[in-house]
Amino acid sequence: MGLKTQTWNMMGAKLMLALILLSWASSVSCFVSYDRKAILINGKRRILISGSIHYPRSTPEMWPDLIWKAKQGGLDVIQTYVFWNGHEPSPGKYYFEDRYDLVRFVKLVQQAGLYVHLRIGPYICAEWNFGGFPVWLKYVPGISFRTDNKPFEDAMQRFTYKIVNLMKAERLFQTQGGPIILSQIENEYGPIEWEIGAPGKAYSQWAANMAVGLGTGVPWVMCKHEDAPDSVIDTCNGYYCENFKPKSIYKPKMWTENWTGWYIEFGGAVPYRPAEDVAFSVARFIQNGGSFINYYMYHGGTNFGRTAGGPFIATSYDFDAPLDEFGLLREPKWSHLRDLHKAIKQSEWALVSADPQVQWLGSNQEAHVFKAGSGCAAFLANYDTKYSVRVKFRNGQYDLPAWSISILPDCKTAVYNTARVGVPISQIKMVPIGGFSWQSYIEEPVSAFGDGTFTKDGLLEQISLTWDTTDYLWYTTDITISPNEAFLWSGQYPVLTIMSAGHAMHVFVNGELAGSAYGSLKDPRITYSEKVKLRAGINKLSILSVAVGLPNVGLHFETWNTGVLGPVTLKGLNSRTWDMSKWKWSYKVGLKGEALNLHTQSGSSPVEWLEGSKLVQRQPLTWYKATFDAPPGHAPLALDMNSVGKGQIWINGRSIGRHWPAYTARGNCGTCSYAGTFNEYKCRKNCGQPSQRWYHLPRSWLKPTGNQLVIFEEWGGNPNQIFLVRVSRT
Ligand code: GAL
């Protein structure tokens, strides 16, 4: 071997080494892994503070501000679900625009210098219609959701691929230099697997393998799934997670949903969770070795359109989150948590380096001390729900209010206590700007066989007919009364009983409203039972059955029914009781106003509307239309709907959601102390008031002039008392 060749070989080897080092360096520069203590980013253990912001629950115009406020609030990560039914409204037809512009959302988070936890799902729960599943999925032959079922797994895999490939193409995974550091493949599957056993186990194994096989380079999570396959991280969801232990000792202790409040249901009181308790739960989790915490929700936002699940989930998804529905800072929650994050970050090095040593400070008090080299951080906890105490720790004395934790990033100075709130409450203010000048249009109850109606023997399930393209389905039939019926003379009218699987209905006899009935989130079923004025001859019975969001949680919720399934009976006739359930019924999907597209400018113009003294008020099934100019400024806007009953609202052709102020809040609205274990029934407000009175009208959906507001009102109310309000916080 000549000298020259040797030199070349050495140079080649050096070059090779340099290349290897280079590629190693570039791979470690974007690398997510984990160990028993924490998620590691670029080889560095991190305490990560995350918050949920669901992109379709706000507008793209709101996103930068929400993300910026999240960053100012001390967040490292934004967590979101991916909303399958928004992205694939019909099979193979994808939609990624406007509020569903996922790439734009993820890139905005990246630009803000934050990470993303992308819960690709595709099951999301989330009080979102059908738990995020497209309704067409229910009608795929042979399908069974969230179990070892080929048609389901095929569809789930297709959608997961679609999203992962989209993220890869945009170089959004951390391994590609993007912000996504974590994903999720199933949501709270533990309880389902527990119920269904072997097929559930097979499915979760399949789901984990499928997800990990996609080679995203970032870890996958399955939340609330104690038995999750080893290739994914099992995480905790709840109000408290300090005692949670991942299945394997090699996994970090992560909390994917710390509920900052709770959702609002129509008919329920409005839940809230004190900031002190949220902070306490986080500090308690961190002192017990937790290293990832996500606020569900950090900004809850709005269930625009018909995206609310449930049924009976309200349009507001405010969640008592640190950023309120309108994106304003909810104080003291936002600041109090920001200060908590600062104190935790000051302690980060000790927290990720050491395991806590627990010391007793009193009967109900403890210190958790993290000592690493010369670093030391301590958490001093008082679990007592009534008494504040003075404890001794090292050479100092510390006052700990009831149910609180102090953080000492240097083991000396208490920089933060979870129960000491330094910021005043910010009250929300709804200042009326003005009313509207309305026009009305009556939606006649369907009484005859007309366009688009069809007739069948017996009562049919609602969603199988509507495919959830509308809330509304008409059931109509003829009741022929002979002149010999005794009630015609006695005045003792027969009793009509209608049993429905849900969720609401309006009953019309000969075109007149006979009554309405509705269920609740707890029990969506309805029984309507009233005397009805029938006359000799043919009587038209028309039932408008109304869905209020499809279920988003529960074992095989895809099999649950909606609509008038009977029995329907008429009692008190000469021949006693008639069972009408098997009679001929005619069906019509949707309202006439929907078919006419009354919610749009072009659909509403050709129609004759009444106004001025002819304006129809307090009549069921009425459409209202008004035009207005946008008020100046940037403050968020809402509609005060207190004077109407139930229906839907559109602005410039976009649906802002269902309104139902007439469903007032039941429940217990006593006083509520921050101290002691929280649950969603503990702190509630608005009892006796509408569960939701104000409806968010996104600024960006308005033009400077000539905005068209359309309302469909089912119950009848006074539109002249609907106000546009400016939203602010003091
Ligand atoms: C969790 C679920 C979330 C959301 C939350 C409650 O169980 O994972 O999607 O539904 O409850 O608001």
Distances (CA, A) of 271 to 259, 260, 330, 525: 11, 10, 14, 24
Distance 444 CA to ligand 1 centre (A): 40
Q: Which of 595, 359, 646, 324 is nearest to 470 (CA)?
A: 595
CA of 258 to the centre of ligand 1 (A): 10
Alpha helices by DSSP H, listed for 197-304, are: 198-212, 275-287
Helix (H, G, I), strand (E, B) or coil at 688: coil
Residue 463 near residue 135 (C-beta atoms within 8 A): yes
At a CB cut-off of 8 Å and minimum separation 6, what does 629 contact?
704, 705, 706, 707
How far away, in angstroms, is 126 Cα from ligand 1 center? 5
User: Is the Cβ atom of 235 under 6 angstroms away from ligand 1?
Assistant: no
Ligand 1 pocket check for 714: Cβ under 6 Å: no
Paired residues of 369 in beta bridges: 357, 378
Read off the DSSP letter of residue 597: T
Distance CA 281, CA 239 (A): 7
Question: Contact at 8 Å (CB) between 491 and 561?
Answer: no
User: Whose alpha carbon is nearest atom 11 of ligand 1?
Assistant: 126
Q: Is 680 in the pocket of ligand 1 (CB under 6 A)?
A: no
Atom in ligand 1 nearest the alpha carbon of residue 188: 8
**DSSP 3-state assignment of 153?**
helix
> Is the bond leading into 297 cis (omega within 30 degrees of zero)?
yes
**715: Cβ contacts below 8 Å, ≥ 6 apart:** 516, 620, 644, 645, 646, 647, 662
User: Measured between alpha carbons, how far is 723 from 321 in angstroms, rounded to an integer?
Assistant: 26
Gap from CA of 125 to ligand 1 centroid (Å): 6
The pTM score is 0.95
Whose Cα sits closest to atom 5 in ligand 1?
126
Residues labelled as active-site residues: 188, 257
Distance between CA atoms of residues 673 and 686, nearest Å: 17
Task: Give 283 Cα–ligand 1 centroid separation in angstroms.
Answer: 22
To test ligand 1's pocket by mutation, which of 237, 272, 318, 681 has the most ligand atoms within 8 angstroms of CB? 237
pLDDT value for 208 = 98
Average pLDDT per run of 10 along the chain, which is 730 residues long? Answer: 42 48 47 97 97 98 98 98 98 98 98 98 97 98 98 98 98 98 98 97 98 98 97 98 96 98 98 98 98 98 97 98 98 98 98 98 98 96 98 97 98 98 96 98 75 92 98 97 98 98 97 96 97 97 98 97 98 97 97 96 97 96 98 97 98 98 95 97 97 98 98 96 97
Evaluate: CB of 320 within 6 angstroms of ligand 1.
Answer: no
For residue 622, what are the β-bridge partners?
A: 442, 713
187 lines ligand 1 (CB under 6 A): yes
Tally of CA atoms within 13 A in the half-sphere of 140 that contains its CB: 19
Instruction: Copy the structure tokens of residue 379.
Output: 């958490």
Q: Measured from the CA of 262, which atom of ligand 1 is nearest?
A: 12
Tokens of 210: 């499928």
Characterize the bridge pairing of strands 495-500 and 526-531. antiparallel
191's CB contacts (< 8 A; 6+ apart) are 224
126 CB under 6 A from ligand 1? Answer: yes
